[in-house]
Amino acid sequence: MRGRRRTERRRGLLLALAMVLGLPGIAAAQTDSAVRRMAQDLVPAVERATGVTFRRPPRVAVRTRDQLGAYLEAKTRQEFSVAERRTQERVYKAFGVIADSVNLLQTQLNLLQEQIAGFFDPDSGTLFVIRGGDAMMLRAVISHELVHALQDQYMRLAPILKMRRQNDRQMAAQAILEGQATLAGILALTPGTSASQISQSWGMLRQAVRAQAENASGAFGNAPRILRESLIFPYINGAEFMVFYEERRTSPDEMPYGERMPTTTEQILHPSRYTARETGLELAFARTRGDTVLYEDNFGEFEMKVILETWGLGEPDAISAASGWNGDRYQVRGTRGGTVILWAASFDSPQDAADFERHVRRVWERGRGRSQQGNRFSVETRQVAGKPVVVLTDAPAGWAGWSSAPAVTGR
């Protein structure tokens, strides 16, 4: 339920990055020819920062803000059918992570329009840059986007960006793409700086971006927490992971692409689990007669933490509750009586599962559980494939599944 909103650069985030790191530049609008020269001049620095070279020169196009906005809106609307968009919105509302009044597609489009400064489009192989931007911002944007153009020459980005119903895997991949672009983009602009030196700034940057969101009155500031945090995570946590990777790779051109790419946000958040190649259980629900599965996917450790915070759990408890993640799966079903929510989450230990069960029961009962008129809910722990699995169920009181709960399997 992601789409292109993660691939377009966030102007506000990169501006915060430039300010925190003190990137050099002057506040002067640039001509189209100057922008192209800037991109050409930055190519060698980006190659040095990544350790690989361009196989062919990157294409650069300069457009007005309105032109870029119209292009992105058209691409965004092409990605999903109207029916699928509505279904995804229904999922978020069913889980209580966006308000019932939120129009998900329009919120995403507003974010694109507000934050746009430039982006690399893998479908056309073109780096688009906004016309008339100031030099500091353009240098930060172009260096970042050149990394994406380089990535696309060594692994096709389009299939990664267009994954369907592999939410956690796609988020992990996005963290590599954005994390590498963030780290290498900074290194390209600050010659002589090491990745470990830059890593000291991530905490400051995360605080700066969150403060900007809390104080902003525009689309980013008003966006639901799940959207804001999903925009920040690939840049900051992805860059932190890339510092870890850079310090341990065995050759200058070794990249976290293909089989080396992390497959879960757990691996991004806990690099030791990446080196151990921990992936978690693949969970599945048995069908119930009369139910229609509207949508299913997983959240992963990162979104699990954000969801718990959205439901009212404090950040320390949310981090602790999600950190034992060992795989999850959810379904939103339609029935004659209303909507059914099923969410199964596997954990590393019985204690991890007990902590998660306790927190979920409390916050769900306090919030969403009571707001579902005519529904009842349960939170219970089962043993699946030798692991404790916590299952949240919220469904109409007359649902057939209450008399025979859907089985959960794992492998």
pLDDT in tens, 378-409: 999 999 999 999 999 999 999 999 999 999 99
Q: What is the pLDDT of residue 73?
A: 85
pLDDT in tens, 59-68: 999 999 889 9
pLDDT in tens, 159-175: 777 777 889 999 999 99
Q: What is the pLDDT of residue 196?
A: 76
Mean pLDDT on 70-90: 81
Name the more confident of 163 and 235: 235
Lowest mean pLDDT among 16-20, 40-44, 256-260: 16-20
Q: What is the pLDDT of residue 209?
A: 65
Is the pLDDT reported for residue 129 higher than 70? yes
Mean pLDDT on 189-207: 76
Q: What is the pLDDT of residue 297?
A: 95
Is the pLDDT reported for residue 6 higher than 50? no
Q: What is the pLDDT of residue 10?
A: 43
Name the more confident of 2 and 216: 216
Is the pLDDT reported for residue 217 higher than 90? no
Q: What is the pLDDT of residue 17?
A: 54
Q: What is the pLDDT of residue 111?
A: 80
Q: What is the pLDDT of residue 14?
A: 52
Q: What is the pLDDT of residue 20?
A: 45
Mean pLDDT of the residues in the chain: 86
Is the pLDDT reported for residue 204 higher than 90? no
Give the rounded percent of residues in the chain with a pLDDT score beyond 70.
Answer: 88
pLDDT in tens, 21-40: 445 544 555 788 989 999 99
pTM for the predicted model, two decimal places: 0.89
Name the more confident of 153 and 72: 153
Confidence of residue 134 (pLDDT cuts 50, 70, 90): confident
Q: What is the pLDDT of residue 263?
A: 95
Mean pLDDT on 14-27: 49
Q: What is the pLDDT of residue 12?
A: 46
Name the more confident of 135 and 274: 274
Q: What is the pLDDT of residue 193?
A: 81
Give the 3-state secondary structure of the chain.
CCHHHHCCCCHHHHHHHHHHHCCCCCCCECCHHHHHHHHHHHHHHHHHHHCCCCCCCCEEEEECHHHHHHHHHHHHHHHCCHHHHHHHHHHHHHCCCCCCCCCHHHHHHHHHHHHCCEEEECCCCEEEEECCCEHHHHHHHHHHHHHHHHHHHHCCHHHHHCCCCCHHHHHHHHHHHHHHHHHHHHHHHCCCCCHHHHHCCHHHHHHHHHHHHHHCCCHHHHCCHHHHHHHHHHHHHHHHHHHHHHCCCCCCCCCCCHHHCCCCHHHHHCHHHHHCCCCCCCEEECCCCCCEEEEEECCHHHHHHHHHHHCCCCHHHHHHHHCCEEEEEEEEEEECCEEEEEEEEEECCHHHHHHHHHHHHHHHHHCHHHHCCCEEEEEEEEEECCEEEEEEEEEECCCHHHCCCCCEEEC
Q: What is the pLDDT of residue 157?
A: 81
pLDDT in tens, 296-308: 999 999 999 999 9
Is the pLDDT reported for residue 132 higher than 70? yes
Most confident residue range from 52-56, 334-338, 387-391: 387-391
